[in-house]
Structure 1
Amino acid sequence: MPSWDPSLYLKFGEERTQACRDLVARITLDSPRRIVDLGCGPGNSAEVLLKRWPDAIVTGVDSSEAMLAAARERLPNVRWQKTDITSWVADEPVELVFSNAALHWPSDHEHLIPRLFDQVAPGGALAWQVPSNFDAPAHVCMRDLAASPGWRSYFTEPVREWNFHPLPFYYDLLAPSAIRIDLWTTEYLHVMDGPSGIIEWYKGTGLRPFLDRLESSADQERFLDELLIEIERLYPRQPDGRVLCPFSRQFAIAYRK
């Protein structure tokens, strides 16, 4: 299980929250009474949900105590629950089961997604978004570096990688119980001050499983230094010195019959 650092995650809080806003804006529920935010992180997604539905009872669920501590500080009146997504079960059916950038960590979506949809009340919705850029240059660099002669002894077992499927896979899973399904992808172009900004972005998420395999801070820094050399090559600077980081995300909303 990767460790999580709320301050690293929120270093790009605006960019990470934009996809959450885009997802919430597409949900066509008038006034859901109960909302569960799975993989709630430091509370930024719950904040967006409450802005859209201020009268809803929102429960944030996360497996990281560090993230939950930040969430409690951010929104002290929200109920926060330390539970893994794979074991969470609703006390009673809820109008909206929501997840912002979390469902790519658990595996076995074939069973997980229908089980989560089973927690939704009739007329309610299951909505989520996940990164879908597993083959982006930065991710390829991480995997190639971990497999290189200088590092492969640290990565004798596969790291915990992202899990997602093509959108038709989710349509087929949910269609038997859904009255309507919305599916789409969006590619965001995040503007970074330089190549090191891409490293900082991934240190808050995708790099965590790799860095957690390295016990010493010296090894972690050496890994990042070598990764930065490749990032500088693959993500050229624009004329103003900044770097564009394409980041694709996958969105789904299923409304229960």
Structure 2
Amino acid sequence: MWNPDVYLAFADHRGRPFYDLLSRVRATSPRRVVDLGCGPGNLTATLSDRWPGAVVQAVDSSAEMVEAARGRGLDATLGGLETWTPEPDTDVVVSNAALQWVPSHRELLVRWAAELPSGAWIAVQVPGNFDAPSHAAVRELASSPTWLDRLRDIPFRVGKVVDSAVEYASMLADAGCTVDTWETTYVHELTGEHPVLDWITGTALTPVRDALDDDEWQQFRHELIPLLDERYPARPDGRTFFPFRRIFVVAQVG
């Protein structure tokens, strides 16, 4: 279960890649713009400001996120990205930090390139931090004797969850697109008692939270704190620097 309030705790940091992604989309007067994996809709709402003449639609697989997006006045629909098919007038497809949850996303990108009208844009951003120390700490704790039985069925993602910018560029070029891809490592300045724990609570720890009851969840978080503090020590001034690699793909359909 996704919690929009927890996710939005770092809205400024999470929003920056969205704007960096959209800055490379040169659509001028799109008819329909679709945000796949819209989350709570705070970023989706800005698409109407960018393209006031477009029909803006939002899709997410989380009922909680769809409810939050609708609360912002968005046309949000509950649904999986795997089954989404573009309407004939869809000129821009945006997916910000969502496709990494879909193992078949490579096939989806190629399919969308074939289904979208000529000149349409696909803009995708995915995290590239699955081997980061934060994720390694979660896997280490989850595989300990205390937690292994409770968490053994969670598919903790490691290794090649997403492709490199070069691989996405090659794949979509073969699909007939003009492609612009790049990678950026953001160094987020975080504050608070346990800021990295707070960050991953809204994303990477979601399946762990779903698998544990309330008491177990609090115990898991408590045991995770020293592992994260070791990997991300706070500075004497209280700030913690949290590197986060992201991969960007912007493609125009030929």
Task: Provide the TM-score with structure 2 as the length reference.
Answer: 0.94
How far 1:93 sits from its partner (Å)?
4.6
Q: Distance in 2 between matches of 1:31 and 1:239?
A: 50
Aligned residue for 1:95, secondary structure, equals strand
Q: Which amino acid aligns with 1:38?
A: L
Q: Which residue of 2 aligns with 1:231?
A: 228
**Alignment of structure 1 residues 70-109 onto 2, 5 Å:** 70-74=68-72, 76=73, 78-109=74-105
Is the 8 Å Cα contact of residues 34 and 57 (structure 2) preserved in structure 1?
yes
How far 1:57 sits from its partner (Å)?
0.8
Q: Which residue of 2 aligns with 1:206?
A: 204
Unmatched tracts of structure 2, length 5 or more: none
How far 1:185 sits from its partner (Å)?
0.9
Q: Which residue of 2 aligns with 1:189?
A: 187
1:125-157 CA deviation, whole Å, 9 max, x = no partner?
Answer: 111101111111100001111111111111222
Q: Which amino acid aligns with 1:138?
A: S
Q: Which amino acid aligns with 2:245?
A: S
Q: Distance in 2 between matches of 1:102 and 1:154?
A: 26
Q: Which residue of 1 aligns with 2:114?
A: 118
Q: Which amino acid aligns with 1:91?
A: E
What is the number of residues matched between the two proteins?
Answer: 252
Is the 8 Å Cα contact of residues 154 and 207 (structure 2) preserved in structure 1?
no
Q: Distance in 2 between matches of 1:146 and 1:23?
A: 34
1:254 to 248, 251, 254: 251
Q: Distance in 2 between matches of 1:235 and 1:53?
A: 40
Q: Distance in 1 between matches of 2:177 and 2:80?
A: 28
Q: Which residue of 2 aligns with 1:164?
A: 162
Is the 8 Å Cα contact of residues 110 and 172 (structure 2) preserved in structure 1?
yes
Q: Which amino acid aligns with 2:206?
A: R
Q: Distance in 1 between matches of 2:221 and 2:177?
A: 47
Q: Distance in 1 between matches of 2:70 and 2:107?
A: 31
Q: Which residue of 1 aligns with 2:218?
A: 221
Aligned residue for 1:224, secondary structure, equals helix
1:214-244 CA deviation, whole Å, 9 max, x = no partner?
Answer: 1x11110111111111111111112311111
How far 1:18 sits from its partner (Å)?
1.0
Unmatched tracts of structure 1, length 5 or more: none
Q: Which amino acid aligns with 1:209?
A: P
1:72-106 CA deviation, whole Å, 9 max, x = no partner?
Answer: 111x1x32111100111123251111101100000
